[in-house]
Amino acid sequence: MFTDSHCHLSFPELREQLPVILEAMAQAQVERALCICTTLEEFEDVYRLAHDHPHLWATVGVHPDTEGLQEPSLDDLLTRAARPRVVGIGETGLDYYRLGGRSVADMAWQRERYRTHIRAGRLTDLPLVIHTRSASDDTLAILREEGGLSASSSQTTSDGAVSRGVFHCFTETMAVARAALDLGFYISFSGILTFRNAADLREVAQFVPLDRTLIETDSPYLAPVPHRGKTNSPALVPWVARQIAEIKGIELDAVAQATSRNFERLFGRVLAS
């Protein structure tokens, strides 16, 4: 019934109790999950999860906030993306939240890394999994520039390829949501949507069409209310769906079906690999 479009089962908090987590997913009717890669060093662990479990899939990418580890080349991403059950590029994007005394200009390395991922997404025709925090203007501008996109996603570049994907764990403004939708992207909501201080985000969720909405846990982080503060897992993604159902005034089953269908539509290789 439910699909967790973004989780980190390779992280130690979850990997060490994987059998328990998989059983909890089954009990909660979470039929599948996408395991997100954040470093090249981590990729083999992420890929093994997808390889070993028929209801899990993988991405390849290096998180924008990761420093001091292997920098991804275009070939690094393309080679790994060619493996079966790898269905997306990311997580990628920009994060200016923790500058640590640096300026935005100092984050050129992060912007170049993001460009590399966008190029990989276009060359593989795989969707991007985009992270943006305190950097939405640059995130959108570079996506348009490298992704062959305009304010209207009906326009393409001369090679005919355009970027597609999802803005994951969305916490940005209504204006950013509208811009992402105008580019043809999906928007994914996490347990943050259930937090008491997330009234503005709930307004965004009400605005985003159901046929462009995904749900996620971003586990092991951001457990939804009533589990806030505990270790998150894909079994808790129904709580995000419940919040969306309440916001939109529709049945929970409608949210479960629509978000799973959207996941299949975006990550088209899911059912084929």
Q: Which helix (H) or strand (E) holds 112?
A: helix 108-124
Q: Please report the pLDDT score of residue 271 as a whole number.
A: 59
Report CA-CA distances (Å) from 24 to 34, 137, 151: 16, 39, 42
First to last CA, the chain: 20
Q: Please report the pLDDT score of residue 74 as a whole number.
A: 98
Residue with tokens 């993001």: 114
Per-residue pLDDT of the chain (273 residues; tens, 9 = 90+): 999 999 999 999 999 999 999 999 999 999 999 999 999 999 999 999 999 999 999 999 999 999 999 999 999 999 999 999 999 999 999 999 988 889 999 999 999 999 999 999 999 999 999 999 999 999 999 999 999 998 665 444 445 589 999 999 999 999 999 999 999 999 999 999 999 999 999 999 999 999 999 999 999 999 999 999 999 999 999 999 999 999 999 999 999 999 999 999 999 865 565
pTM for the whole structure:
0.95
Q: Please report the pLDDT score of residue 155 as a whole number.
A: 46
Q: What is the DSSP string of 219-266?
A: BTS-PPTTSTTSPP-GGGHHHHHHHHHHHHT--HHHHHHHHHHHHHHH
Q: What residues contact residue 33 under an 8 Å CB cut-off, 6+ apart?
A: 3, 4, 5, 7, 9, 25, 55, 56, 57, 234
